[in-house]
Amino acid sequence: MMKRLGMWRWSAWMPLSAMLLACAGGSPVPVGAQIPPSLPAISGDTLDPNWIPAGFGTLRQDDIALKTSPSAGLQVRAIPLEERFIRLLSPDSYRALRELVAGNERKLQAIRERNRLPNYSIWYVSFFALEQGETRFSPQEFIITNTGRDFRPLDMVPLTPGFGEYRLRQREVQSALLVFDGQLDINQPVTAQMESVQSITDWSQVLQRVERERALVRSRAGAVKR
């Protein structure tokens, strides 16, 4: 029974993905298609073993998400917007997340200028309420533990109206881009906690999934070139 309940709870995120695609605009891009030139170019070292071409991934957003449930009524999902990860997503999800960052680039640049760190780790974080009535949340309490450190958000860019009220009605979603110190390395073990409750995601399984998909993406891209 509990297993079924857990499956039902996380399935509630599906409308959020659709909402993100609608905000980004455009129709789904078929696997193997080129990402539209309207997206800002991102340079990469093609000798980097983690670097892959865009447009060949098949993963879902949930496949690379870090999830936690600090209470029975609140669920949190965080997706790292690292290019080498999001290129493994299906083309429509990849495009939506890229456009999400591009559309908020001016606000993100202001955060970079305020903090003056060499680099940053940006996460797309959503808070979802299950219970009736009002559920409160504090994004500053969403802490990521990695490389022996606890990383707290340096700043955030709200994405949904009313995010700054830090409260949810039943089945409401509030989302933001949370910005962390770039020393956070998502290629290493990662856990999250909120209100002292640890994440329910096994990040080692996420990394295994990512490695498998990287190999498949290279294979698909190679087949197209031939």
Give the three-state DSSP class for 101: helix
The answer to whether residue 9 scores a pLDDT higher than 60 is no
* Overall pTM surpassing 0.85 (yes/no): no
Contact 128, 77 (CB under 8 A): yes
pLDDT score for 196 = 87
Q: Is the pLDDT of residue 62 over 50?
A: yes
Helices and strands: H and E segment counts in the chain? 6, 11
Among 83-92, 95-104, 170-179, 217-226, the least confident range? 217-226
The residue-averaged pLDDT of 85-106 equals 97
Q: What average pLDDT is seen over the chain?
A: 83
C-alpha to C-alpha distances, 100 to 21, 72, 112, 158, nearest whole angstrom: 9, 29, 17, 12
Domain ranges of the chain: 53-225
Tokens of 213: 């998909």
3-class secondary-structure state, position 49:
coil
What pLDDT digit, counting tens, does each position of 192-205 carry? 999 889 999 999 99
Question: Encoding tokens for residue 144?
Answer: 């990521």
**pLDDT for position 222:** 86
Task: Confirm if 195 and 162 have CB atoms less than 8 A apart.
Answer: no
Tell me the per-residue pLDDT of 80-93, one tens digit each, with 9 for 90 and over. Answer: 999 999 999 999 99
Q: What is the pLDDT of residue 49?
A: 65
Q: Where do we find the tokens 């891009």?
A: 29
Rounded to whole angstroms, the Cα distance separating 62 from 36 reads 24
